């Protein structure tokens, strides 16, 4: 009883909600699984229900003693559970921080179709190449036109860098190598020009282009702000661009699909040096979101390496060369928000405002740097060229989607942490990682953010078997991210199925394929856990007979209701009644089983023959329970028992389904899951 009550209580609180069930049903294979188990258990549950109902109808034979004992026992179990439960129930309900339903930039600005939110490898998004020395690979075009067909046809998981030749062939440009004797100091900060539409962006591109026409070259500083939390792949939120005379802040959201074409005029132009600090990520984000590639990149991070500065961060350069400090608190702020607070815009502007000045100063220092050996002493711009070479390598980085192979992914994590895992745990972890990844794609959320790896390791170690336990492992209700909260059931399913605590979908599918060959013995081992399912399913059934509701109400004194309510933290009185009712029903069932122990043994001996003879329709209409009629009671027990043990006996199931169908032709199955 104790363990059953535990299950009952835990399950009540964790029952999949209506839409969760609907979601489960939508998964291939699951629909059959749910509706079949469902139907099979309804008869068993109705049996239990009519038991209690019949007691009431025949009030002189109410086994008060038994019910009282049941109540006591049930409450006792409640107390045992209390410690565990109140950890959760005492936590005040947090206001919902709705992150999953929050509108994303891609929805607001209508570029969702430009995000490659699928399991295919990343396809470069550029449609044509500016300043091309080689043509755009036709494979890329083919993949863009028909992604799914393409990857069926070719075994490719990465495309070559579209600007590989242009970047490799570029020789160091004089306007980069030659540093003016006198460097102009940086300008004071003035409000930047905000670019939020194509006209303004066009003007900017033209302006820089004109400078190239006049001087033969141009120089710009570029930086990006990014968000990797509210999306699966991550999203570029801001492009800061500074010329020698002006700072620009480009909002990429309203320009998303045009940005690549427009900015590639600048970014692919070898006559315009693009100065970044630490461009490794930026290079990949630009590829992923806009199909932008950088020809002629100068990365001040590499310059700081060549100069062997004490630190290589942007802040360090800023304080060294400009005697300015910057507060990096905004670095990880939510850059998707609009309008952006002035403070954040200013912060973003600073990232490029001083960068061309720093670029000048660093080139100067690189030129002055003494050369340690003969081999390089006669190469005049050895260090600047070194920086350009390193920058080329950065510019040649190819964006790849997050690792899809969770086996490999897990191995990488373990290697990094110098950690080992036994084979079985490894396999379970991979399954959980796969589920997490799928949910990440489905909800367009970062898996590593909504369910960090350490939590997954914790789950694998503790192997929770109920939603409550799972919640505790995840740090309690208020700490669980919405994406996980909405899918707790799925995670639990993986855990339970892994330990074969509930039948897997595979087995049921197998049964359907070839019902004749399935022997009952083969199915039996997994049937032992089915009471779990009975409760899950039965509580979801709307048709809660009033007479049953009343009888339970009668036995529940007010203070008991409050006690149970506080201990079980039931959300609705209806659920509470169910908790109690299921406990009660199972208790009666249990004691009846004990009473007819002898009879049961007899049944077990002859079970094999009887299975064929059971008429499942009888389970719906169970006979009235009469204490004086021992035979009837035994008979009832035998049949309930058989129902439980043979729900998967295909023939019985099929026959039962047919009867059920005829009986409730107009009953919509989904109605059964509506809680009142």
Distance of CA 69 to the CA centre of its chain: 45
Nearer of residues 237 and 428 to Zn ion, judged by Cβ: 237
Q: Are 445 and 231 in contact (CB under 8 A)?
A: yes
Helices (H), 194-272: 198-215, 256-267
Distance CA 662, CA 666 (A): 9
Residues at the interface with ligand AMP (CB under 6 A): 223-227, 278, 331-332, 335, 351
332 interacts with, out of Mn ion, ligand AMP, Zn ion, none, CB within 5 to 8 A per kind: ligand AMP
Shortest Å distance, C-beta 237 to ligand AMP? 7
Structure tokens at 499: 């330990």
> Closest separation between CB of residue 240 and ligand AMP, Å?
8
Query: Which region among 219-227, 299-307, 582-590, 637-645 touches Mn ion (by CB under 5 A)?
Result: 219-227
**Using CB atoms, what's the residue nearest to Zn ion?**
351
671, 537 Cβ separation under 8 angstroms = no
Q: Which stretch binds Mn ion (CB under 5 A): 215-223, 337-345, 482-490, 523-531?
A: 215-223
d(CA 108, CA 130): 30
Residue with nearest beta carbon to Mn ion: 223
Binding site partner of 202, from ligand AMP, Zn ion, Mn ion, none, Cβ cut-off 5-8 A by kind:
none
Minimum CB–partner distance for residue 282 and Mn ion (Å): 5
Residue 621, both tokens: 């209409």
Q: CB neighbours of 668 closer than 8 A, spacing ≥ 6?
A: none
Q: What DSSP line would sit under 148-197, residue for residue? A: HHHHHH---S-PPPTTHHHHHHPPPPHHHH---SSPPPPPPP-PPEEE-S
Nearer to Mn ion, 225 or 637 (CB): 225
Nearer to ligand AMP, 351 or 469 (CB): 351
Closest approach of Cβ 109 to Zn ion, in Å?
21
Tell me which residues in 569-628 interact with Zn ion (CB under 5 A): none
User: Which of the choices Zn ion, Mn ion, ligand AMP, none does residue 290 contact, using the CB cut-off of 5 to 8 A by kind?
Assistant: none
Q: Which of residues 348-367 bind Zn ion (CB under 5 A)?
A: 351
Between 226 and 501, whose beta carbon lies closer to ligand AMP?
A: 226
Least Å distance, CB 508 to Mn ion, is: 52
What secondary structure letter does DSSP report for 340? P
Residue closer to Zn ion by CB (options 347, 619) is 347
CB 439 to ligand AMP: min, Å: 22
Contact 108, 253 (CB under 8 A): yes
**Angle at alpha carbon of residue 601, lines to 598 and 602, rounded to 5°:** 90
Q: Which lies closer to ligand AMP via its Cβ, residue 223 or residue 637?
A: 223
Q: Which stretch binds Mn ion (CB under 5 A): 220-228, 251-259, 503-511, 642-650?
A: 220-228
* Beta bridge mates, 219: 273
Of 70, 91, 92, 73, which is closest to residue 81 (Cα–Cα)?
73
**Stretch of 90-98, 106-114, 141-149, 217-225 lying at the interface with Mn ion (CB under 5 A):** 217-225
* CB nearer to Zn ion: pick between 280 and 604: 280
Nearer to ligand AMP, 333 or 620 (CB): 333
The site partner of 306 among Zn ion, Mn ion, ligand AMP, none (C-beta below 5 to 8 Å per kind) is: none
d(CA 66, CA 588): 8
CB of 240 to Mn ion, least distance (A): 9
Task: Pick one of 223, 251, 289, 530: the residue that binds Mn ion (CB under 5 A).
Answer: 223
Least spacing, CB of residue 179 vs Mn ion, in Å: 24
Residues contacting Mn ion: total by CB under 5 A: 1
Residues 648 and 36: their CA atoms lie apart, in Å, by 9
Cα 631 from Cα 620, distance rounded (Å): 19
Question: ω before 221 within 30° of 0 (cis)?
Answer: no
Closest CA to 472 of 201, 166, 87, 30: 87
Which of these ranges, 189-197, 221-229, 392-400, 656-664, lies near Mn ion under the rule CB under 5 A?
A: 221-229
First vs last Cα of the chain: how many Å apart? 27
Output b/e per residue, 494-522; b: 16+ Cβ within 10 A: ebbebeeebbbbeebeebeeeeeebebee
Does residue 211 interact with Zn ion by CB under 5 A?
A: no
Specify the residue, 335 or 489, whose C-beta has the smaller distance to ligand AMP: 335
CB of 223 to Mn ion, least distance (A): 4
Q: How far is the CB of 224 from ligand AMP (least distance, A)?
A: 6
- Minimum gap (Å) between residue 84 Cβ and Zn ion: 47
Would you tell me how many other CB atoms lie within 10 Å of the CB of residue 80? Answer: 13
Neighbours of 71 (CB within 10 A): 18
Minimum CB distance to ligand AMP smaller for 150 or for 354: 354
77 touches 643 (CB < 8 A): no
Q: Closer CB to Mn ion, residue 304 or residue 587? A: 304
Among 211, 223, 247, 582, binds Zn ion (CB under 5 A): 223
Binding mask 165-204 for Mn ion (x = CB under 5 A): ----------------------------------------
Q: What is the DSSP letter of 111?
A: -
Q: In whole angstroms, what is the distance from residue 531 CA to residue 6 CA?
A: 12
Q: How far is the CB of 226 from Zn ion (least distance, A)?
A: 8
| Contact predicate 268/130, CB 8 Å | yes
Q: Closest approach of Cβ 286 to Mn ion, in Å?
A: 11
Output 248 or 673, the one with its CB closest to ligand AMP.
Answer: 248
Q: What does residue 225 show for φ and ψ, rounded to 5 degrees?
A: -115, 150
Residues engaged in binding Mn ion (CB under 5 A): 223
Residues engaged in binding Zn ion (CB under 5 A): 223, 351
């Amino acid at each position: 009883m104790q363990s059953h009550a535990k299950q009952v209580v835990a399950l009540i609180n964790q029952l999949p909600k209506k839409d969760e069930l609907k979601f489960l049903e939508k998964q291939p294979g699951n629909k059959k699984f749910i509706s079949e188990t469902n139907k099979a258990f309804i008869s068993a549950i109705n049996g239990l229900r009519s038991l209690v109902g019949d007691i009431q109808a025949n009030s002189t034979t109410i086994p008060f003693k038994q019910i009282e004992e049941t109540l006591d026992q049930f409450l006792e179990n409640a107390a045992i559970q209390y410690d565990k439960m109140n950890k959760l129930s005492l936590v005040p309900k947090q206001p919902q921080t709705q992150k999953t339903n929050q509108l994303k930039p891609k929805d607001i600005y209508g570029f969702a179709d430009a995000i490659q939110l699928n399991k295919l490898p990343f396809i470069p998004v550029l449609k044509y190449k500016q300043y091309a020395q080689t043509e755009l690979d036709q494979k890329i075009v083919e993949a863009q036109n028909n992604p799914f067909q393409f990857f069926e046809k070719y075994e490719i998981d990465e495309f070559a860098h579209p600007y590989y030749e242009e970047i490799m062939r570029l020789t160091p440009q004089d306007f980069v190598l030659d540093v003016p004797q006198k460097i102009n100091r940086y300008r004071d900060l003035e409000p930047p020009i905000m670019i939020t539409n194509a006209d303004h962006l066009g003007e900017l591109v033209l302006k820089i282009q004109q400078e190239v026409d006049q001087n033969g070259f141009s120089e710009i500083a570029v930086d990006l702000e990014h968000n990797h939390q509210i999306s699966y792949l991550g999203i570029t939120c801001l492009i800061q661009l500074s010329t020698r005379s002006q700072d620009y802040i480009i909002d990429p959201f309203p320009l998303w699909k045009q940005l690549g074409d427009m900015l590639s005029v600048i970014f692919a132009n070898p006559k315009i040096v693009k100065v970044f600090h630490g461009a490794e990520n930026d290079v990949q984000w630009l590829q992923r979101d806009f199909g932008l590639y950088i020809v002629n990149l100068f990365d001040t991070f590499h310059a700081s390496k060549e100069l062997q500065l004490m630190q290589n961060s942007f802040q360090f350069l800023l304080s060294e060369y400009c005697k300015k400090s910057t507060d990096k608190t905004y670095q990880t702020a939510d850059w998707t928000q609009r309008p952006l607070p002035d403070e954040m815009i200013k912060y973003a502007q600073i990232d490029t405002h001083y960068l061309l000045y720093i670029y000048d100063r660093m080139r100067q220092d690189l030129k002055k740097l003494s050369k340690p050996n003969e081999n390089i002493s006669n190469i005049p711009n050895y260090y600047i060229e070194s920086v350009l070479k390193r920058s080329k390598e950065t510019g040649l980085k190819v964006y790849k989607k997050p690792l899809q192979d969770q086996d490999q992914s897990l191995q990488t994590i373990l290697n990094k942490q110098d950690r080992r895992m036994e084979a079985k745990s490894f396999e379970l972890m991979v399954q959980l990682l796969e589920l997490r990844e799928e949910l990440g794609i489905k909800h367009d959320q970062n898996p590593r953010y909504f369910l960090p790896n350490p939590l997954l390791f914790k789950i694998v170690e503790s192997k929770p078997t109920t939603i409550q336990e799972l919640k505790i492992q995840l740090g309690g209700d208020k700490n669980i991210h919405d994406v996980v909260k909405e899918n707790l059931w799925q995670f639990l399913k993986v855990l339970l199925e892994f330990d074969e605590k509930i039948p897997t979908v595979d087995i049921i599918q197998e049964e359907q394929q070839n019902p004749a060959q399935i022997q009952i013995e083969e199915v039996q081992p997994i049937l032992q856990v089915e009471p779990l399912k009975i409760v899950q399913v039965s509580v979801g059934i709307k048709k809660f007979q009033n007479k049953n509701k009343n009888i339970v109400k009668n036995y529940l004194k007010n203070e008991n209701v409050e006690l149970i309510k506080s201990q079980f933290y039931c959300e609705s009185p209806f659920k509470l009644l169910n908790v109690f009712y299921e406990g009660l029903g199972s208790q009666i069932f249990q004691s009846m089983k004990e009473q007819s122990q002898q009879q049961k043994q007899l049944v077990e001996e002859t079970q094999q023959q009887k299975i064929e003879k059971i008429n499942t329709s009888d389970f719906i209409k169970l006979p009235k329970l009469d204490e004086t009629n021992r035979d009837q009671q035994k008979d009832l027990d035998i049949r309930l028992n058989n129902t439980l043990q043979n729900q998967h006996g295909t023939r019985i199931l099929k026959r039962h389904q047919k009867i059920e169908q005829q009986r409730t032709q107009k009953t919509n199955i989904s109605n059964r899951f509506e809680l009142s």
